[in-house]
């Protein structure tokens, strides 16, 4: 049978081309997703700032909790969303450890050098201030000038000094702490062999200034240890761990220093694990569905051949082994090529995610042999399983019935297939009910895509029934519109329901998957935008690249006509094991700038020691007005707050609303992201509050912009579009894969009809009529697939919308939906018209003599 399988592959290259393409794409997707997943699990975080020391001590940067399930106790941990700081008592403890030559405390805080126009030279993620005493950790050495010793003095890295165009002795504006200030540059420093660190700009302050600006009295970001000459580093580290036992401090060495330097990269690991897992799981399910459909169509086109083998004595087992070995050979070659292509795809995906800001470039892509090998094995398994499932009925048929059965299509579905289709349809209904109860994106997203795939499985299994019913209706319309070509198209489609179903399945999956991916994003972002728009009462909003410092908010509060200036800062917090987006707002007069649509309690009662929660968070944690809620802040500090209000607009304002001072004390970047201003008629100025009056009050704070309500809405839409790009790129690969599957299947189905087209020509049908028939037939198939895909997408999106927004009205922009249908239609017609024209070339009599 292996010899026969190889001969069949050689003779039927075209018949296996479709399966080969599907398997190549599947292997590439699995490899890319596996590489992202491995990067999240084992990716290296590049070391820059701590390159000069082999040991770094930090606070525990993970949140731990104990989970009890089925009599077992498990301890779980997740990276904190903000940097946890270390008590300075650890510094004194470490100085007493034998074998340590020097203990160097490190302070890390945002410090932006501003241009004359107030623009920050660097982004939020790579502009940091430090105390000069920690320069040794890299090490930074002076190239010019001296170290800062007095307040108001700084040392810049050489690249930053060049970009700021400031020499030693010059003055530079640095925003750090509560307000930007003018500092005198007393020195320029650089690490060995470079002008600056590759991924962060460095500003060094005098020690006293650094402690004040860091805003963490009695704490340090980390501690660098230098082993004394002659001491054993391993012994010293062991002694340091023993000395710090019970404090929660962590002694890091080697590659473990990277997460201490770049906490954002450590958090990105979790993002990549979840993203790679979700994308990989969805890709694998789609790949299996596509590959099974492709092999089913291939086997369907070989029914006469298989029937002949059965008639001359081949056993069912031999048929299954032959087709299985064909699949293994195709799968091995396709898997190897796809795995190689997947490595390049992984690099491209990693680069896109870095460009969108979803992950920092400090988390390097991890490429090993594990994802390609896994992809090849999974491809082989998918190919073999798809082939065995597809050939099951053809191999079991009796030899005496084989040739007759191959000549006609089965009028009824098999019992097993029918039961499987009904079970899949019921499973789809169950998943819709589950989806209606999920009100957070991390929970609902994987269920949403699984729901679409289960619906596609039901369509694939019940496809012939759906095709006959759909064509029976569409055939009447087509027949009336075109009495000759339309009539032929309707009759052909009705007689070949299995072939139609094989084409409808990937096309409907493409419509459903594309619509779901696009419109889950628009539904959630539109609902959040509408809530934020309706609930933002401020007349003006202050924004700035590096954040709005506290003194700028104080300055606008003194402007005549300004009643309330609410500082807003966002973060992520945990309550128990659940993670919630939260906002910190200035409590005084907050009801004049924000209206989260309070359902119970009083939002205006927000004050120190209190919290307002969304209805979703209240349900999740089982709390109401007057209850205590224990919250873990982003840096791991736990606080207990009293619930004073429950509000509806959680998508627009976050699930928790906290006092601004509490949030600012526990985030890495405490400057407000925005300041909301509510004002009235200013009697002293004789006019209403104006943008110009606010801008004049901000004269000493360059770079802060004053936006009106329309500009704020546009900025919010732009930000939502940037965040959605990550999901569009990730899931767009699945859309591309299903698009390739559509083209693949249609080309296979059309190319296999050469004898049918020849017969039509021999009985008097012209080539133009055959092509017109093919177009009508394709149009009917497209309509049927579009209806099925749209119904699946709409039902899924409605359930998603109910869970996420509380409304049964998903938001689907009509032009975007039309673009999905146009793209699907274009793919279908190109994939049928082109191979149709090729099939009609040559003499019809010669085509009738071709091997089937």
Q: Collapsing DSSP states into helix, strand and coil, what is residue 139?
A: coil
C-alpha to C-alpha distances, 285 to 175, 201, 382, 737, nearest whole angstrom: 50, 44, 10, 12
Which of the four pLDDT bands, split at 50, 70 and 90, describes residue 366? confident
Query: Is pLDDT at 401 greater than 60 in this prediction?
Result: no
Give exposure, 434-456, as e/b (b: 16+ Cβ within 10 Å): bbbebbbbeebbbbbbbbbbbbb
Q: Collapsing DSSP states into helix, strand and coil, what is residue 747?
A: helix
pLDDT tens digits, residue range 654-705?
999 999 999 999 998 899 999 999 987 444 444 567 888 888 888 888 788 8
Q: How far apart are CA 34 and CA 27, in angstroms?
A: 10
The secondary element (H helix, E strand) that includes residue 225 is strand 222-227
- What is residue 405's predicted lDDT score, i.e. its pLDDT? 52
- What is residue 728's predicted lDDT score, i.e. its pLDDT? 73
C-alpha to C-alpha distances, 425 to 431, 434, 517, 782, nearest whole angstrom: 10, 14, 21, 22
Q: Which range among 281-285, 665-669, 770-774 shows the weakest confidence by mean pLDDT?
A: 281-285
Which of the four pLDDT bands, split at 50, 70 and 90, describes residue 736? confident
- What is residue 398's predicted lDDT score, i.e. its pLDDT? 64
- What is residue 238's predicted lDDT score, i.e. its pLDDT? 93
- What is residue 292's predicted lDDT score, i.e. its pLDDT? 75
DSSP line for 788-823: HHHHHHHHHHHHHHHHHHS-S-----HHHHHHHHHH
C-alpha to C-alpha distances, 609 to 290, 487, 640, nearest whole angstrom: 55, 76, 7
- What is residue 496's predicted lDDT score, i.e. its pLDDT? 67
pTM for this prediction = 0.81
Query: Is pLDDT at 784 greater than 70 in this prediction?
Result: yes
CA 10 to chain centroid: 42
Query: Is pLDDT at 10 greater than 80 in this prediction?
Result: no
Give mean pLDDT, residues 318-347. 85
C-alpha to C-alpha distances, 440 to 133, 646, 811, 846, nearest whole angstrom: 45, 17, 17, 62
- Provide φ and ψ at 840, rounded to 5°: -90, -5
Query: Is pLDDT at 9 greater than 50 in this prediction?
Result: no
Looking at per-residue pLDDT, the higher value among 261 and 160 belongs to 160
Looking at per-residue pLDDT, the higher value among 297 and 359 belongs to 359
Query: Is pLDDT at 721 greater than 70 in this prediction?
Result: no
Query: Is pLDDT at 840 greater than 80 in this prediction?
Result: no
> What Rg, from alpha-carbon coordinates, does the chain have?
33
Query: Is pLDDT at 593 greater than 90 in this prediction?
Result: yes
Query: Is pLDDT at 843 greater than 90 in this prediction?
Result: no
Q: Which range among 61-65, 397-401, 404-408, 488-492 shows the weakest confidence by mean pLDDT?
A: 404-408
Give the residue among 45, 429, 107, 94 at the shortest CA–CA distance from 266. Answer: 45
- Give 254's DSSP letter: G
Query: Is pLDDT at 765 greater than 60 in this prediction?
Result: yes
Which of the four pLDDT bands, split at 50, 70 and 90, describes residue 569? very high
Q: How far apart are CA 809 and CA 822, in angstroms?
A: 23
Q: How far apart are CA 48 and CA 262, in angstroms?
A: 9
Q: Measured on CA atoms in the order 68, 69, 70, 74, is the torsion positive or negative? A: negative
Looking at per-residue pLDDT, the higher value among 291 and 651 belongs to 651
C-alpha to C-alpha distances, 634 to 662, 664, 844, nearest whole angstrom: 11, 10, 74
Measure the N-to-C terminal CA separation of the chain; round to a whole number of Å. Answer: 20
Q: Percentage of the chain with pLDDT > 70?
A: 88
Contacts of 256 (CB under 8 A, 6+ apart): none
- Report the DSSP beta bridge partners of residue 612: 645, 657
Query: Is pLDDT at 635 greater than 70 in this prediction?
Result: yes
Which of the four pLDDT bands, split at 50, 70 and 90, describes residue 324? confident
Do the Cβ atoms of 585 and 537 come closer than 8 Å? no
Looking at per-residue pLDDT, the higher value among 19 and 660 belongs to 660
Give the count of beta carbons closer than 10 Å to the beta carbon of residue 178. 18
Give the residue among 505, 743, 513 at the shortest CA–CA distance from 21. Answer: 743
Do the Cβ atoms of 132 and 154 come closer than 8 Å? no
- What is residue 210's predicted lDDT score, i.e. its pLDDT? 95
Q: How far apart are CA 572 and CA 560, in angstroms?
A: 35
Query: Is pLDDT at 522 greater than 90 in this prediction?
Result: no
Contacts of 395 (CB under 8 A, 6+ apart): 306, 310, 316, 317, 319, 320, 323
Q: Is 814 exposed, middle or buried (0-12, 13-18, 19+ CB in 10 A)?
A: exposed
- What is residue 683's predicted lDDT score, i.e. its pLDDT? 43
Query: Is pLDDT at 61 greater than 50 in this prediction?
Result: yes
Please give the mean pLDDT across all residues of the chain: 84
Looking at per-residue pLDDT, the higher value among 768 and 192 belongs to 192
- What is residue 327's predicted lDDT score, i.e. its pLDDT? 80
pLDDT tens digits, residue range 30-45?
898 889 888 888 888 8
Give mean pLDDT, residues 552-556. 91
């Amino acid at each position: 049978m292996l010899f026969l399988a190889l001969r069949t592959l050689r003779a039927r290259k075209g018949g296996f081309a479709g399966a080969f393409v599907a398997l190549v794409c599947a292997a590439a997707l699995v490899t890319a997703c596996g590489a992202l997943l491995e990067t999240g699990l084992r990716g290296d975080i590049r070391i820059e700032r701590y390159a000069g020391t082999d040991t770094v001590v930090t606070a525990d940067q993970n949140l731990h909790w104990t989970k009890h399930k089925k009599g077992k106790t498990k301890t779980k941990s997740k990276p904190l969303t903000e940097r946890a700081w270390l008590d300075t008592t650890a510094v004194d403890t470490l100085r007493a450890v034998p074998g340590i030559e020097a203990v160097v405390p490190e302070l890390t805080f945002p410090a932006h050098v501003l241009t004359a126009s107030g623009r920050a030279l660097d982004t939020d993620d790579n502009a940091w201030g430090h105390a000069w005493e920690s320069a040794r950790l890299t090490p930074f050495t002076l190239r010019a000038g001296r170290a800062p010793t007095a307040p108001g003095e700084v040392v810049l890295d050489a690249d930053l000094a060049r970009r700021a165009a400031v020499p030693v002795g010059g003055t530079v504006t640095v925003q750090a702490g509560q307000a930007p200030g003018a500092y005198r540059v007393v020195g320029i420093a650089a690490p060995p062999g470079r002008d600056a660190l590759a991924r962060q700009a460095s500003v060094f302050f005098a020690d006293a200034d650094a402690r004040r600006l860091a805003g963490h009295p009695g704490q340090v970001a980390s501690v660098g240890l230098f082993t004394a000459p002659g001491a054993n580093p391993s012994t010293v580290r062991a002694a340091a761990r023993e000395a710090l036992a019970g404090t929660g401090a962590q002694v890091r060495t080697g590659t473990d220093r990277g997460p201490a330097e770049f906490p954002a990269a450590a958090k990105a690991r979790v993002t990549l694990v979840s993203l790679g897992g979700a994308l990989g799981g969805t890709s694998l399910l789609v790949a299996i569905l596509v590959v099974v459909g492709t092999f089913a169509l291939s086997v369907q086109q070989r029914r006469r051949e298989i029937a002949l083998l059965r008639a001359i004595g081949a056993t069912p087992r031999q048929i299954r082994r032959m087709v299985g070995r064909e699949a293994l050979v195709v799968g091995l070659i396709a898997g190897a090529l796809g795995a190689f292509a997947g490595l390049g795809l992984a690099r491209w995906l990693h680069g896109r995610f870095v460009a969108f800001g979803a992950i920092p470039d400090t988390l390097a892509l991890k490429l090993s042999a594990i994802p390609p090998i896994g992809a090849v094995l999974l491809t082989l398994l998918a190919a073999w399983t798809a082939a065995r499932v597809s050939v099951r009925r053809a191999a079991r048929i009796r030899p005496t019935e084989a040739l007759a059965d191959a000549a006609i299509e089965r009028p009824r579905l098999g019992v097993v297939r029918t039961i499987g289709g009904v079970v899949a349809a019921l499973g789809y209904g169950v998943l819709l009910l589950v989806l209606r109860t999920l009100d957070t994106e991390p929970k609902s997203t994987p269920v949403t895509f699984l729901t679409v795939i289960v619906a596609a499985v039901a369509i694939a299994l019940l496809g012939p029934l759906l095709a006959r019913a759909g064509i029976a209706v569409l055939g009447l319309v087509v027949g009336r519109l075109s009495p000759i070509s339309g009539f032929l198209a309707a009759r052909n489609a009705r007689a070949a329901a299995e072939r139609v179903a094989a084409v409808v399945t990937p096309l409907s999956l493409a419509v459903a998957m594309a619509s779901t991916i696009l419109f889950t994003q628009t539904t959630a972002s539109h609902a959040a935008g509408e809530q934020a728009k309706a609930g933002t009462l401020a007349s003006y909003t202050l924004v700035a690249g590096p954040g709005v410092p506290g003194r700028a908010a104080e300055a606008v509060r003194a402007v005549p006509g300004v009643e309330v200036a609410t500082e807003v800062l966002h973060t992520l917090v945990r309550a128990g094991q659940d993670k919630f987006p939260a906002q910190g707002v200035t409590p005084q007069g907050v009801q004049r700038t924000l209206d989260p649509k309070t359902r119970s309690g009083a939002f205006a009662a927000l004050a120190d020691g209190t919290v307002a929660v969304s209805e979703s968070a209240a349900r999740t944690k089982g709390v109401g007005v007057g209850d205590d809620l224990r919250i873990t802040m982003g840096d791991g500090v736990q606080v207990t707050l009293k619930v004073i209000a429950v509000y509806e607009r959680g998508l627009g304002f976050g699930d928790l609303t906290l006092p601004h001072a509490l949030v600012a004390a526990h985030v890495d970047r405490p400057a407000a992201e925005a300041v909301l201003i509510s004002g009235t008629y200013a009697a002293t100025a004789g006019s209403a509050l104006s943008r110009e009056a606010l801008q004049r009050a901000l004269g000493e704070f360059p770079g802060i912009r004053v936006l009106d309500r329309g500009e704020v809405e546009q900025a919010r839409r732009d930000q939502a579009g940037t965040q959605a790009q990550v999901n569009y790129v990730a899931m767009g690969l699945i859309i591309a894969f299903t698009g390739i599957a559509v083209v693949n299947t249609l080309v296979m189905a059309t190319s296999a009809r050469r004898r049918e087209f020849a017969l039509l020509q021999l009985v008097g049908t012209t080539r133009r009529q055959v092509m017109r028939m093919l177009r009508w037939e394709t149009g009917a198939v497209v309509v049927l697939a579009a209806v099925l895909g749209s119904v699946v997408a709409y039902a899924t999106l409605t359930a998603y919308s109910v869970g996420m927004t509380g409304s049964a009205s998903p938001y689907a922009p009509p032009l975007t939906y039309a673009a999905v249908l146009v793209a699907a239609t274009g793919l279908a017609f190109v994939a049928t018209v082109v191979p149709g024209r090729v099939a009609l070339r040559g003499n019809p009599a010669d085509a009738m003599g071709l091997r089937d």
